[in-house]
Chain A
Amino acid sequence: MIDVIRDKVKELLDSGEIKGFLGLVRKNGHIAPHLFQKGDDLGAMSLGDDKVAGDARYPLNKFLINLAKAYPEETFAVLVRGCDDRGLQTLYTWNQLNPKKVVPVGITCPQELADACECLKPFPAVITAGECAQPGTPRSVAAVDALVMSERFSYWMDEFVKCIKCYGCSNVCPMCFCNECTLKCDDLVKGGELPPEIPVFHHTRAMHMVGRCIDCGLCEEACPSNIPLRTLYKKVGSIMEEQFDFTTGAVRGQRSPLNKIDFAEGRK
């Protein structure tokens, strides 16, 4: 699979279609996010697999936003999995990236990763390399939903109380791009208090991820306290799907139903 990606990237770079390819590289014994440019050695390129499939996934779209801001005239290619692709569509919708300046290089996720992520679409719309895996089976949300209300509440409170307020969930999130963050507003979230006010802190983030969360799971992987954040956001996502038939990133230009009020009252 990596050879196909290498050839594709070489072709894009040599033709001058792109200024650089944002992907992953193996260096210093680690897998690192990396910008490949014309003439660079593509031999050390990686797809993020270290010991287990996809265990070195990084928020490449987040880095892409930084590059695009600094070099708005340039076109960049970026390595995308299914979740990253949903992310790109959503970032286009929210005007954070210009689709004319982005060339996605799509890879499929192996079955074990799709299963581990319980991912409903473990491949991007346009696939450069790889075979499509079967969608993962949702389990985590159902397992929590099976608890009676009081136990469910205790379950979440016991998880949230472990929060050390590192903001890693938001820092790593490729979809967190607000200039002003509610969770960093002194009037709403008191500084210097641990744990933060629960469950409000985590529910606030969950609410703000409606129409944003593309279920990449990087937040949960970044959480030093192992709070099952992904389960929380999956639950929010499932409510959106059931109530509004809305899946984040499924259709470019489709905003979350919770934002429809903007159109109704403001812009018509």
Chain B
Amino acid sequence: MGAPINYRTVLTTCTYCGCGCNFFLEVLDGKVIGTIPCKTSPVNEGKLCIKGWNVHEFVQHEKRLKTPLLRKNGKLEEVSWDEALDFTATRLRQIKESSGPDSIGFLTSAKVTNEENYLLQKFARAAVGTNNIDHCARL
């Protein structure tokens, strides 16, 4: 008998929308190879939409962004999180000072948690000072 096979079914929550469907990711030797809806989940009762069914396709997709990109001289370049955050914070501050807080708007996401959505609206209203915040569903 050799080493055990690294095969796991990992229970997780779909990141595609706010429904919060549960499924298992089928993981073989560190690679996500399949998605199977969780039948005992009270949310989706073993059902998924086409996006949920294909979650395993994007998790390790080669085109998935792994680092922030910053446009430099018209070209997107990979940069560190520190550089990306510094740039964004600096520009937001400059724009707020030169054009006022209502010149800035925020679009939040169905793919993040309630708490993260709360944080962004708090940031928009309290830190930046604008009510320009909306949800990706109305994009």
Contact = CB atoms under 8 A, between A and B. Distances in A.
B29 interface: yes
A66 B5 contact: no
B1 A166 contact: no
Interface stretch (A52-60, A85-93, A239-247): A52-60
A223 interface: yes
A20 B53 contact: no
Contacts of A57: 39
B41 interface: yes
B24 interface: yes
Given A66-B34, A71-B5, A33 B39 contact: no
Interface stretch (A34-42, A120-128, A149-157, A200-208): A34-42
Interface of A: 16, 19-20, 27-35, 37-38, 50, 55-59, 63, 66-67, 70-71, 74, 164-168, 171-172, 221-224
Contacts of A171: 35, 53
Interface stretch (B44-52, B60-68, B80-88, B111-119): B44-52
Given A166-B50, A167-B53, A35 B39 contact: no
Contacts, number: 85
The 6 A-B residue pairs with the shortest CB-CB distance, nearest first, are A224-B47, A30-B40, A166-B50, A35-B7, A37-B4, A56-B39
A16 B2 CA distance: 10
B101 interface: no
Nearest to A34: B9
Contacts of A167: 50, 53
Interface of B: 1, 4-5, 7-9, 11, 22, 24, 26, 28-29, 33-41, 46-50, 52-53
B1 A19 contact: yes
Contacts of B33: 66
Contacts of A66: 26, 28, 33-34
20 contacts: A20-B7, A28-B11, A29-B40, A30-B22, A32-B24, A32-B38, A33-B26, A37-B5, A38-B4, A57-B39, A58-B36, A67-B5, A70-B5, A74-B5, A166-B48, A167-B53, A168-B37, A171-B53, A222-B46, A223-B47
Given A30-B11, A164-B49, A171-B53, A16 B28 contact: no
A37 B39 CA distance: 24
Nearest to A74: B5
Given A66-B28, A67-B5, A166-B50, 5 more contacts: A29-B40, A32-B38, A38-B1, A167-B50, A224-B48
Nearest to B22: A30
A166 B29 CA distance: 28
Contacts of B26: 33, 63, 66
